[in-house]
């Protein structure tokens, strides 16, 4: 369980990099394996955070409902062993549970309908619900409106982290090219002048070839 907790903290940290670190699916698999083993008691709040993350993407209810039920049973068996007085046993959310007020995780569409009840939902948020996000764990595209809030936020955070990493790589390559050019310029036998634009960082270099 220690390794799972370490992976979870890494996944939730700002320096998590999907291109170098483990994937969401690998973390999900490890969490489920450790929960089923039931050999280590951890803080209850942390336990719920782990199972919420591992349960962000359910199996298809029409094809693999038994897998959802098996996971629910494993979670509740863990709670019964280490927290027998805990009454908030886990239950997968679905439309019926949502209507009965038992849902633990609201999807983006459900949240917006609840938040703007009786009012018009802003068009940009409605459009966001229709946008698609590629799920690595399911290997297909999902509508953002059908994703629960935590899953959506983590996915967007992950996309931002990947984008930032990619931009840093490009910036480092650009800086390296500039450094090599400046090193070459310092050894250039041709005289030149530099002119900078006052409103940005651009500059021009004029080589004085007539002085050769």
Q: Average pLDDT over the chain, rounded to whole?
A: 80
Alpha carbon of residue 141 to chain centroid = 15
Do residues 98 and 79 touch, judged by C-beta distance below 8 A?
A: no
2 and 50 in a single domain? The answer is yes
User: For residue 9, is it within any domain?
Assistant: yes
User: For residue 160, is it within any domain?
Assistant: no
Domain count, the chain: 3
123 and 142 in a single domain? The answer is yes
Instruction: For the full predicted model, state whether its pTM sits above 0.75.
Output: no
Do residues 154 and 52 touch, judged by C-beta distance below 8 A?
A: no
C-alpha 181/C-alpha 151 separation (Å) is 45
111 and 101 in a single domain? The answer is no
Residue range(s) defining the domain that contains residue 196: 166-211
Judge residue 27's burial from the number of C-beta atoms within 10 Å of its C-beta, 0-12 exposed, 13-18 middle, 19 or more buried: buried
55 and 14 in a single domain? The answer is yes
141 and 183 in a single domain? The answer is no
Do residues 98 and 110 touch, judged by C-beta distance below 8 A?
A: yes
Higher confidence at residue 67 or residue 130? Answer: 130
User: For residue 13, is it within any domain?
Assistant: yes
Per-residue pLDDT averaged across 136-162, rounded?
Answer: 79
User: For residue 65, is it within any domain?
Assistant: yes
Residue 109 has, within 13 A of its CA and on its CB side, a CA count of 12
Output phi, psi for 13, to 5 deg.
Answer: -85, 165
133 and 189 in a single domain? The answer is no
Question: How is residue 23 written in tokens?
Answer: 């994937």
Position 98 pLDDT exceeds 50:
no
Position 60 pLDDT exceeds 60:
no
What burial letters (b/e) apply to 188-212, b meaning 16+ CB within 10 Å? eeeeeeeeeeeeeeeeeeeeeeeee
User: For residue 93, is it within any domain?
Assistant: yes
């Amino acid at each position: 369980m220690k390794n799972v907790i370490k992976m979870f903290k890494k996944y939730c940290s700002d320096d998590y990099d999907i291109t170098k670190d483990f994937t969401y699916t690998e973390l999900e698999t490890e969490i489920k394996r450790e929960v089923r083993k039931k050999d280590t008691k951890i803080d209850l709040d942390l336990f719920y955070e782990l199972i919420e993350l591992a349960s962000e993407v359910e199996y298809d209810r029409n094809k693999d409902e038994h897998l959802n039920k098996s996971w629910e049973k494993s979670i509740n068996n863990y709670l019964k062993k280490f927290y027998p007085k805990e009454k908030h046993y886990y239950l997968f959310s679905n439309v019926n549970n949502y209507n009965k007020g038992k849902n633990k995780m609201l999807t983006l569409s459900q949240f917006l309908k609840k938040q703007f009840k009786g009012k018009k939902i802003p068009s940009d948020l409605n459009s966001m619900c229709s946008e698609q996000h590629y799920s690595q764990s399911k290997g297909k595209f999902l509508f953002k409106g059908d994703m629960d809030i935590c899953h959506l936020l983590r996915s967007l955070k992950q996309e931002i982290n990947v984008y930032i990493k990619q931009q840093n790589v490009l910036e480092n390559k650009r800086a390296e090219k500039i450094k090599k050019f400046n090193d070459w310029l310092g050894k250039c036998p041709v005289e030149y002048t530099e002119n900078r634009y006052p409103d940005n960082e651009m500059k021009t270099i004029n080589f004085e070839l007539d002085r050769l």
